[in-house]
Structure 1
């Protein structure tokens, strides 16, 4: 009876009927048929048991492998999140760079807006390029450019396109060129020359924009005044000569470059001292006399 309970799912109807008749008959069964039925039932039982154990083993292995894989994925995700939130991770650095550039742009734009509103721009003119320089020194040339553009956009919203363009021409481009040269490790001679040229071109652009707005040629007025002043000076010292316009343009350009050169040179010294006090002296390329002074 136990054999019948174990093998009904493995034998067909014919084999079940034959085995039942052999086992339930009162007479002594044929030995060959009996042994054949017994061997057939045991082999079927062993096959069914082996199949059941094999599938159960595979099922257990797949479940364990799935749980191990899930735990490994969770650990990798947690490690990745930890690396992103670490102070030396790329996400943290990008976020910090974005926050600092935004703060520098906001401070620079607010200072320029208030100084123009209160007519104290001449007293704070040295500060407007400093946020771009320090942003370029800390985070690279792209960060300085983004700070300059963000400040210009803020001034465009607050004061209009004239103030924004004036900031770009007179302070933004100077700060970007100075920060770029310092970031690349250029010497002071090249940096001052480049910043002087940028400042001079910005001043000329500012004069052209002002001339367009007031419908008056300011450059012509400047050259006429220089010509009149030089003629009066030559007459006063007893020289009977009239300077040509090429001479006037040369004098005008020389005075413009001298003015911009002195301004940029003073900015270099001031920014070098401030950045040295902020702990960025190692990243600066300073001349020997300034290193000894600092």
Structure 2
């Protein structure tokens, strides 16, 4: 009874209007008709407008490719050229291998000679690997051989052996190799190499004086002073020479010793290089060239 009363009240006031029932099928068909009609009635764009729009579009230029078959072929050709006998990579590898072999040979020979106490007999061959590397390749190769030999001695025999090798043989071989590589005369080469050898010998004496806590240079000069005084007194000259004269005598004797040693090295190494077929790269004196 309550629902009927409510409906009567709504009818009186005009708020309630009965709605007819619409089936789902009719609703879907109406939507389909409306959508098809809207699609058919939609205005189509003319072809000329689309063509004009496509003509206005600008396509950026295509850049060069990062890799092509031609670049790959050129790289393969270049790598094959480098691996030939005259190629850059092959020559650098050969120089590195030879410098390493010469450094190992020089270091092991120096260690064995020092261990067997025959260093004085083989001392003339210790600078040969450095000179040979400088003559065969360049001065840089000789320097690398010297540094590699000193490093090997530092690892195997300690810093004293390495420094001794550098002072007595390493810098001498580098100086000779550099002068021979630059085609300097034998006079200049012998003089400069003798000065390098003398400076190395002085540094060697100073180093061992520091190690044994004894002034070896003072002992040498005292012995020279006593010898000179004895020689003068034996000839009837009662004269005591000053220390400046003693130092001059010591320096002269040292330079003469180093000069004779370096000159013998020049003769030995020149004969060795000549036998190896490297005579064209040497600047030999006329008398020596005729003798050999």
- Please, what TM-score do these two structures have when normalized by structure 2? 0.78
Report what 1:271 is aligned to: 269
Residues in 1 aligned to 2:291 and 2:156: alpha-carbon distance in whole angstroms: 41
- Structure 2 residue 155 is the aligned partner of structure 1 residue 157: yes
The Cα offsets for residues 213-250 of structure 1, whole Å up to 9 and x where unpaired, read as 11000000000001011111111111111011011001
Residues in 2 aligned to 1:154 and 1:272: alpha-carbon distance in whole angstroms: 27
Output aligned runs, 1:228-243, within 5 Å: 228-243=226-241
Residues in 1 aligned to 2:116 and 2:87: alpha-carbon distance in whole angstroms: 43
Report what 2:78 is aligned to: 80
Residues in 2 aligned to 1:214 and 1:85: alpha-carbon distance in whole angstroms: 54
> What is the RMSD computed on CA atoms of the aligned residues?
2.6
Report what 2:283 is aligned to: 285
- Structure 2 residue 244 is the aligned partner of structure 1 residue 211: no
Q: 1:70, CA displacement in angstroms?
A: 3.8
Q: 2:174 aligns with which of 173, 176, 187?
A: 176
Output aligned runs, 1:118-267, within 5 Å: 118-267=116-265
The Cα offsets for residues 106-125 of structure 1, whole Å up to 9 and x where unpaired, read as 00000000000000000100
Output aligned runs, 1:101-120, within 5 Å: 101-120=99-118
Residues in 1 aligned to 2:72 and 2:225: alpha-carbon distance in whole angstroms: 80
Q: 1:153, CA displacement in angstroms?
A: 0.6
Q: 1:80, CA displacement in angstroms?
A: 1.3
Output aligned runs, 1:42-57, within 5 Å: none
Structure 1 stretches lacking a partner, 5+ long: 1-12, 15-46, 48-61
The Cα offsets for residues 28-64 of structure 1, whole Å up to 9 and x where unpaired, read as xxxxxxxxxxxxxxxxxxx9xxxxxxxxxxxxxx9xx
Q: 1:157, CA displacement in angstroms?
A: 0.7
Residues in 2 aligned to 1:152 and 1:174: alpha-carbon distance in whole angstroms: 14
Report what 1:32 is aligned to: none
Residues in 2 aligned to 1:160 and 1:140: alpha-carbon distance in whole angstroms: 29
Report what 1:94 is aligned to: 92
Q: 1:85, CA displacement in angstroms?
A: 0.7
Report what 1:26 is aligned to: none
Q: Secondary structure at the match of 1:240?
A: coil
- Please, what TM-score do these two structures have when normalized by structure 1? 0.77
Q: 1:159, CA displacement in angstroms?
A: 0.8
Q: 1:139, CA displacement in angstroms?
A: 1.1
Report what 1:29 is aligned to: none
Residues in 1 aligned to 2:207 and 2:255: alpha-carbon distance in whole angstroms: 20
Q: 1:280, CA displacement in angstroms?
A: 0.6
Q: 1:73, CA displacement in angstroms?
A: 2.5
